[in-house]
Amino acid sequence: MDEKELKLKISASPHVRSEATTADIMSDVMIALVPATAFGVYLFGKHAAFLVLACVLSAVLAEFIYEKLMKLPVTVGDFSAVVTGLLLAMNLPPELPIWMGVLGSVFAIIVVKQLFGGLGKNFMNPALAARCFLLLSFGASMTRFVYDGVTSATPLALLKNGSHVELKNMFLGYTAGTIGETSAVALLIGAVYLLIKRVISPKIPLVYIGTFAIAMTIYAIVKDKDVVNFVLCEICGGGLMLGAWFMATDYVTSPITPVGKIIYGIVLGLLTFTLRIFGNGAEGVSYAIIMSNLLVPLIEMATKPKAFGEGAEMSAEDKKKKKAEEKEAKKAKAEEDADKKEASESDKKPDASEKTSKKEGKDIKGIFKAICAIMLITVIMGAILGTVYSVTKEPIEKAEEKAKQEAYKEVFPEASDILSVSEDQLDYGQINNLIQSFGFTHDTIDEICLVSDADKSLIGYIVVVTNDNGYGGKIQMVVGMRKDATITGLAFLELKESPGLGMEADKDKFKNQFVGKHETRYEYTKTGAVVDSQIDAISGATITTSAVTDGVNAAVALITMLGGE
């Protein structure tokens, strides 16, 4: 007998056999990620390519060295480490320093995978765990996105701040974001490949995306947004496609029970929705998946199907009776002729088809129950959101009005009376068309106020202007000016820039650079201001500086156009 034939594998029944190996499955995943990887490298350039290569090589090397040191079988040949490194790279900003990507790969392989026993024993997705580790450790670098050579906010950040986002660009991938998340179409091509090869089941991704879409639709209706554009942009952005098709379906960290998959998908959809809408960030997929990974053992325990024959235990007396009946039945059968035997054998065929139809009926029933459950959950969520919105609407509006009045006083301390010019008195649409024609394509005039002194004489203006080109989205600022366009103050109603960088715009050191100046146009400089029209840029926050300067220039252009009277 051949030596190989003696190496028997013993395991409990039932036995499900498949010719697919771990290496085969991982190879298919790598092939499926090729379109998104190639597009990411094409879009973001050679640094992105080096980052992908560094993540993959460091993941493989970390696994090899660890297994050698621990005297364990070397498993790099199953390509699981390659997939982990590749998925991590897909979730990283294109300009992230190489050493941070390497650190993330080592963390994913050693801490999340190997220390828990290796492939098949990790309790959460290693690539996403590493991404969250890097986000917590290097927040500034992990949230800095560069597209077309310019640092800019991601589409979801803009969407969260109320800015318009082009759905076509998000679907094709011509936007800022991580290396592998931008192109929804490239990710869908990879997903189709995995479905054709039967590497993944569509159940988890479809339930995940479906639940998320329903929740977002309800939210969009409540908030009076452009429902179709808003929901589709949310689906195409923030790594949802990458997470749903390539990471939520991970064999090790997702449920294996049919009902469990549906519950898992619902939990993922609701968590992602909650984190995106009510969290500080605009993404949420990474945290949603690793939190759901932790719930998988509980989900599987709750949805474990009954074992065959469970609950049908027989007493010893019942067993004897059954045995006797079986003997009598055998005698009767032995006396039957061959024709009767053939007929009894042929009768078995309809029984098999009947079982199949029953099974199909159960599957349809299960899917129907899942759909009903999703609808019920989303209706309840919609009711809760609607209630919360109605309860909090008035207090929020009062708080916003109070903040606005305080900002007015800050930018024009001498004001005795501030009168807002309503839309009935002034055509803001026409005003903004003129502002756009002056070249301020990212600025919108939201409000103009007339400022009077104690004698009721006009002494200046307060202009509320929004620039949608900030690093973290839109920046709404309040600019106070005298009739000759001399700036009296600058304040912010909305500023969501990076802490320690763009948020420095709200410090007096930056804002006071505008105060007391009377220029027709201001520009920022990185080399130190030498004339009144120059503003020193905030170190490391050029985009924020540019957005604020543009907003001030738009306000100045408006007052100049009005002629100061």
Tell me the per-residue pLDDT of 441-489, one tens digit each, with 9 for 90 and over: 888 898 999 999 888 888 899 999 998 888 777 888 999 999 888 999 9
63 half-sphere exposure, CB direction, 13 A CA radius: 29
Structure tokens at 345: 């054998």
- Which residues are bridge partners to 536 per DSSP? 525
pLDDT at 559: 87
**3-class secondary structure for 282-321?**
CCCHHHHHHHHHHHHHHHHHHCCCCCCCCCCCCCHHHHHH
Triad 96, 286, 278: Cα angle to 5°: 110
Tokens 């993944």 belong to 200
> Quick one: DSSP state of residue 247?
I
Is 500 exposed, middle or buried (CB count within 10 Å of its CB: 0-12, 13-18, 19+)? exposed
Tokens 């449920």 belong to 255
Among candidate residues 441, 482, 474, the one with its CA nearest the CA of residue 458: 482
Among candidate residues 375, 385, 435, the one with its CA nearest the CA of residue 555: 435
3-state SS assignment for residue 408:
helix
DSSP secondary structure of 459-523: EEEEEEEEEEEETTEEEEEEEEEETT--EEEEEEEE----TTTGGGGGSHHHHTTTTT---S--E
**3-class secondary structure for 150-168?**
EECCCHHHHHHCCCCCCHH
Is 265 exposed, middle or buried (CB count within 10 Å of its CB: 0-12, 13-18, 19+)? buried
Among candidate residues 419, 407, 409, the one with its CA nearest the CA of residue 458: 419
Note the pLDDT tens digit of each residue in 151-177: 667 788 777 767 778 888 888 888 888
d(CA 478, CA 506): 12
Among candidate residues 120, 177, 123, 115, the one with its CA nearest the CA of residue 152: 177
3-state SS assignment for residue 418:
strand
DSSP secondary structure of 222-269: HTT--HHHHHHHHHHSTTHHHIIIIITT-TTTS--SHHHHHHHHHHHH
Cβ proximity of 122 and 113 under 8 Å: yes
User: What are the Cα distances from residue 343, in Å, to 202, 336, 346?
Assistant: 42, 11, 5
Residue segments in the chain with a per-residue pLDDT below the cut of 70: 1-19, 149-152, 161, 306-324, 327-390, 392-393, 563-565
Whether residue 258 is preceded by a cis peptide bond, meaning omega within 30 degrees of 0, is no
3-state SS assignment for residue 174:
coil
Other Cβ atoms within 10 Å of 192 Cβ, number? 12
d(CA 277, CA 99): 32
**Total residue count of the chain as it appears in this document:** 565
3-state SS assignment for residue 70:
coil
CATH of 20-302, one of 1.10.3430, 1.20.1530, 1.10.287, 3.40.50: 1.10.3430
Cβ proximity of 477 and 492 under 8 Å: yes
User: What are the Cα distances from residue 446, in Å, to 165, 428, 440, 469, 475?
Assistant: 20, 8, 14, 16, 12
Is 327 exposed, middle or buried (CB count within 10 Å of its CB: 0-12, 13-18, 19+)? exposed
> Quick one: DSSP state of residue 437?
H
Among candidate residues 461, 464, 480, the one with its CA nearest the CA of residue 563: 461
Tokens 């001399």 belong to 486
pLDDT at 554: 92
Whether residue 93 is preceded by a cis peptide bond, meaning omega within 30 degrees of 0, is no
pLDDT at 526: 86
User: What are the Cα distances from residue 124, in Å, to 105, 128, 482, 513?
Assistant: 15, 8, 60, 50
3-state SS assignment for residue 455:
coil
Note the pLDDT tens digit of each residue in 386-430: 666 667 667 777 887 888 888 889 889 888 888 888 877 888 888
| Residue 417 dihedral angles phi and psi, to the nearest 5° | -145, 135
Looking at the chain, the domain(s) classified CATH 1.10.3430 span: 20-302
